[in-house]
Amino acid sequence: MMGGLLALVILVSSSLLMFPSPTASLPLCTDSRSPSTPTTPLTFCPYNGSTCCNSTEDTQLQKQFQAMNVSGSACASILKSILCAKCDPFSAELFTVDIMPRPVPILCNSTVSANSSQSDQAATDFCSRVWDTCRDISIFNSPFAPSLQGQAGLPVNANFTKLTSLWQSKGDFCKAFGGASLDESVCFDGEAVKLNSTEAPSPPKGLCLEKIGNGSYLDMVAHPDGSNRAFFSDQKGYIWLATIPEQGSGGSLEIDESSPFLDLTDEVHFDTQFGMMGIAFHPHFAANGRLFASFNCDKSKWAGCTGRCSCNSDVNCDPSKLPSDSGAQPCQYQTVIAEYSANGSASQPSMAKSAKPIEVRRIFTMGLPFTAHHGGQILFGPADGYLYFMMGDGGSPNNSGDPYNFSQNKKSLLGKIMRLDVDNIPSVDEISKLGLWGNYSIPRDNPFTEDNELQPEIWALGMRNPWRCSFDTARPSYFMCGDVGQDTYEEVDLITKGGNYGWHVYEGLYHYASEGNTSVKAINTIFPVLGYNHSQVNNKLGSAAITGGYFYRSTTDPCMYGRYLYADLYAGGLWAGVETPENSGNFTSSQIPFSCAKDSPIKCDSVQGSSLPSLDYIYSFREDNRKDIYVLAYNGVYRVVRPSRCSYTCPKENVTDILTPGPSTQPSGANLLVHRYSSLVCLVASLCLFLWGNI
């Protein structure tokens, strides 16, 4: 077992309270940004460590407080703490309860909870303390005035008012501004929020896997119709529709590789470091039949491979002066997102067995400067419905960092996570006027609205090569990405709006020697929540490259529930990160032993000289419609199953339970597994070379 992984503890301010929440109580500001450490210390709201305010905002809050001209010192002290809650690392949770923005944070009010003890009420009844202290104090432009709709909101009149003039009773006041433990959310008690400290739970005894397929696939997407079907894709450019067997049925993946759902091999440039990187299906695919593919193409071989070069005058880069990489010319290869349709191949898109390889529209095209670090994953945000596109820094001829500083260049799209609206397609004139890279529009709340130096497509920056990202299905605000390191460190990042993840000023936790045009002081780096040094990974290749994973949300293995499962591509091992306390953003990690179920439908390959299963290279993790997790590996497709099937002890597992029937099977036309082993060997070898080139 490897040494313990390093874990970054996100600093949160000291003091009180959290009501246990399965929702989105993580360090996050009201503008959806991650808290950061200000370059100039705050004086009015002196939060220590990470905060949601800079010195300018701190001064604005001070002026607002002074203008209120609060006559009572005790009330003034309370009101100052309430105003300064805007700077709290958990301000998004405090000020946007029920989504609607609030003029003040939700005030702790346990008295409305029938289950609260008298001691609990005394400790957390901050709302009553506000009323008792300020009820007869005049406040100019009081933030406690009712709105025109009769709810807590902006002041109706700009004048001096008392709480007793605005509200009939303490009960009415606290109904509008308070929140009880029954709300299951963070509340404000006059101090900076701090989640209750708890010890990290013991890691699971082990992870049990069953092998259900022999194919090597790069991506998998659960069918949007909710059935027990899924789409699988490979690097060459094929997409297949498969039926997933019930656990314990003894069945294997039903996939006919001789009959792909979509064949894009004529468009996709398939080589050691190129190919189809990801697939995404519109959330309403079952009704509209829209699907998307992200791939690389070669403009010397396909006339449709056209687009602007990512190295251009906009980013102060001249492609003609870039050194060639393995004989390739800059921007000979392009990264593409294209839209296709399953309409017309069935009476309803959800019943379609194929899609035509004819582009409905080109969503995005960009020429690549070199032949590595392309990222390429695409996925739809579960909460907003926008398309997220993960892009690496473009690499370099000798794998020497990011010599052209693309990742930190706010006008470059390399080394970025992008967020696109593919439901509102602007006209050709609008696309040209806005300088877009394809057929999409920009979501109005993208970070460029707050940082006009940012290219509008950008959601986050400072990535090296994001390899496999996912949203937590239980908490969509948790957007996790594995980012492949350079020489020292592999990282998992918690992605937030406008977040800068440091590359190439930082490699994970470490300052990187080559700064380029960006200094440490010029950026507010968000450090990884999980990660490990290369020295902690031992494998036959002597290298490391992270594969990002998923929060485990299936009931199949209750001891794994809520843990973030991820892997190293080359180590062939699995790790699970646990957040302690829950919803804090503070993670620790441990390696998880794993075995193959004795009744696995397909016999697992074993490590030489051992009975342990050999996964070799782990390309991706994926999730089906019942939230079971899959490992897409060199040696096949594996599914996480009940611990007892591998003789692992999980106290939470009821071994007498009968598995809940899965989603109903929709006609797919897929036959039993068909393999052409000569092609498989070629494909697997190419995948290994591709991912080796991407580290």
Task: Tell which of 183, 215, 241 closes a domain.
Answer: 183
Q: Is residue 188 part of a domain?
A: no
Can you tell me whether residue 172 is helix, strand or coil? Answer: helix
What's the count of helices (H) and strands (E) in the chain, helices before strands? 10, 31
**C-beta separation of 661 from 607 below 8 A:** no
Largest Cα–Cα distance of the chain, in whole Å? 84
Q: Say if residue 581 is preceded by a cis peptide, omega within 30 of 0.
A: yes
Q: List phi, psi (to 5°) of 677.
A: -65, -35
pLDDT score, position 312? 93
Put simply, whether the predicted model's pTM sits higher than 0.75 gets the answer: yes
Residues 309 and 409 in one domain: yes
Give the domain range for residue 165: 55-183
pLDDT score, position 21? 35
**C-beta separation of 116 from 182 below 8 A:** no
Residues 299 and 381 in one domain: yes
Which residues, 6 or more positions from 260, have their beta carbon under 8 angstroms from its beta carbon?
238, 239, 240, 354
Q: Which CATH number do you get for residue 610?
A: 2.120.10.30
Q: Is residue 16 part of a domain?
A: no
Q: Is residue 12 part of a domain?
A: no
Residues 212 and 91 in one domain: no
Residues 151 and 269 in one domain: no
pLDDT score, position 606? 83
| Helices 126-134/170-177 angle, 10° precision | 130
Residues 596 and 665 in one domain: yes
Q: Is residue 400 part of a domain?
A: yes
Closest CA relative to residue 637, chosen from 229, 244, 228: 244
Mean pLDDT in the chain?
84
Residues 97 and 221 in one domain: no
pLDDT score, position 655? 60
Residues 537 and 663 in one domain: yes
**C-beta separation of 16 from 193 below 8 A:** yes
Which residues does the chain have with pLDDT short of 70? 1-25, 97-100, 111-124, 147-158, 180-185, 326, 345, 513-518, 538-542, 609-611, 655-695
pLDDT score, position 36? 85
Instruction: Give the length of the chain.
Output: 695
Q: Is residue 200 part of a domain?
A: no
Residues 155 and 69 in one domain: yes
Report the domain count for the chain.
Answer: 2
Q: List phi, psi (to 5°) of 599.
A: -100, 30
Q: Is residue 560 part of a domain?
A: yes
Residues 593 and 662 in one domain: yes
Q: Is residue 2 part of a domain?
A: no
Residues 175 and 313 in one domain: no
pLDDT score, position 6? 29
Q: Is residue 242 part of a domain?
A: yes
Residues 166 and 224 in one domain: no
According to the 3-state scheme, what is the secondary structure of 70-101? CCCHHHHHHHHHHHHHHHCCCHHHHHCCCCCC
Rg (CA), the chain: 27
Residues 240 and 319 in one domain: yes
pLDDT score, position 687? 46
